[in-house]
Amino acid sequence: MKAFVVEKYGKDGARAAEVPEPTVGDRDVLVRVSAASINPLDKMVRNGEFKQLLKYKLPFALGHDVAGVVTRVGSAVYGFKVGDEVYARPRDLRIGGFAEFISIDQDDVAPKPASLNLQEAAAVPLVALAAWQILVDRARVKPGQKVLIHAGAGGLGSTVIQLAKHLGATVATTTDTDTEKLVRSLGADVVVDYTKEDFSKVLSGYDLVLDSLGGANLEKSLTVLKPGGLAVGVVGPPDAGFAKQIGAPSFMGTVMNTLSRKIRKQAKTLSVRYQFFFMQANGSQLRKLSALYDSGKLRPVIDRTFPFDQTLEAMAYVEQGRTKAGKVVVSMVPDSD
């Protein structure tokens, strides 16, 4: 089958290749891929940013989001049958959505939302799971709390805005002039145009900040939190909790804490908290999220669809910052536009 694989770590390390069809274990479902989507995590894994922690065996297929049709099920699989339309964020070390077929543990798979087509469903799993795990599991957002979401027009931001609003939060976001109307339509109550003003000068008293930019933006984000508030970073720096989550050796926790010492110290000085976030595969949560998509509480935002043969071009499009809003999808069926 055709797949886009990481042959070596680095910017030019991915290529198209013919590889064997994946094996199907007792608990696995084999999915014929209809569509996948691009995430910043694809670039980070390709570049080897996690190679000391996530021990992929080269070459391996990229792709953290997938939607498609079940073509085979393992002997211990229950709840799925051949012909089912599903979506998933396969677990780490078993990614591979940029391929014609992928074998996925049944615990990571869910029936796709009935209201979405397969291309739309492919844009959902990673960002929707991240939104759920940050807002519900990690921050336990309650009605009336104030949440700031940076880069609200992005794939993650646009999803978190919607879920935070559904949970009853007052939602602020940063974006630019061109996407202000979009983020308001998704539920943002307060919109800060970062091209015109500094969010840290106009916002205060927030319970939660989601930072997807890092650096100075993360540092300023700490200042808009109320005492006890939480800043969650998805681009780092990592902390000991991340090392524990992925089952890294104990010494890696010390390494991670060293990397995040500066920001954690700044947070402590301000009587707030900082935590790094790395999402996890979870099929049962995807089932809950499917209900929210089917009820209209959530909707995918898609910037552009590329044909599967242009997966590397789609990755470059995202890396070059050309995405205006939402996710970029690669589809086995050419875009009709």
How far apart (Å, rounded) are the C-alpha atoms in residues 284 and 259?
33
Single-letter code of the amino acid located at 125: P
How far apart (Å, rounded) are the C-alpha atoms in residues 253 and 259?
10
Answering whether pTM is above 0.85, one says yes
pLDDT recorded at residue 247: 83
Token pair, residue 173, equals: 């976001």
pLDDT recorded at residue 11: 92
Contact indicator for 3, 17 with CB cutoff of 8 Å = yes
How far apart (Å, rounded) are the C-alpha atoms in residues 144 and 287?
26
How far apart (Å, rounded) are the C-alpha atoms in residues 193 and 210?
17
Contact indicator for 135, 167 with CB cutoff of 8 Å = yes
Contact indicator for 102, 29 with CB cutoff of 8 Å = no
Tens-level pLDDT at each residue, the chain (337 residues): 999 999 999 999 999 999 999 999 999 999 999 999 999 999 999 999 988 888 999 999 999 999 999 999 999 999 999 999 999 999 999 999 999 999 999 999 999 999 999 999 999 999 999 999 999 999 999 999 999 999 999 999 999 999 999 999 999 999 999 999 999 999 999 999 999 999 999 999 999 999 999 999 999 999 999 999 999 999 889 888 888 888 888 888 898 899 999 999 999 999 999 999 999 999 999 999 999 999 999 999 999 999 999 999 999 999 998 899 999 999 997 544 4
Sequence-distant (≥ 6) Cβ neighbours of residue 67 within 8 angstroms:
33, 34, 35, 36, 85, 86, 87, 88, 112, 118, 119, 121, 122, 124, 125
Q: Which domains does the chain have, with CATH numbers?
A: 2-122+301-331 (3.90.180.10), 126-276 (3.40.50.720)
Sequence-distant (≥ 6) Cβ neighbours of residue 180 within 8 angstroms:
191, 193
- Strand segments, DSSP code E, in the chain are 2-6, 14-18, 28-37, 60-61, 66-73, 85-88, 101-105, 109-111, 146-149, 170-175, 190-193, 206-211, 225-233, 273-276, 302-307, 327-331
pLDDT recorded at residue 21: 96
If 0-12 CB within 10 Å is exposed, 13-18 middle and 19+ buried, where does residue 195 land? Answer: exposed
pLDDT recorded at residue 197: 96
